[in-house]
Structure 1
Amino acid sequence: MRRRANAASRRLTPAIEASMAAAAQTLGAMRDRAAQPPTVHLGMPDFRRDAGRTSAEPER
């Protein structure tokens, strides 16, 4: 009985290794995605950059 269990575990080892490698790859992709900014740029202008002063001296 013990020999059968050992033989079965040896056959599963490559499958488990492949599964672990796929899981590591998926986790890496998820971490990369999480590191990206959460907003989507829609091509609209950034008003903060464009709303600067138009004259060098402020009005008094």
Structure 2
Amino acid sequence: MSEVNIIATLTPFPEFIDTIRHAARAMVAPTRKEAGCLQYDLHESHAIPDVRDLSQRG
């Protein structure tokens, strides 16, 4: 099976920033346990505090 790399940028509307922040953090541990997941990371931008980048390799 070929390896797949996914990068996603989450830029929520201001009223959803806290919801997205908590949901994105909550996804990290369960996703890392999924079969085939080689890497899953959440990156929080210091330059733009409300932006979240997710990267997954599997």
TM-score normalised by length of structure 2: 0.33
Structure exhibiting the larger radius of gyration computed from Cα positions? 1
Which has a greater percent of helix? 1
Which has a greater percent of strand? 2
Q: RCO greater where, 1 or 2, for CA within 8 Å and sep 6 or more?
A: 2
TM-score normalised by length of structure 1: 0.32
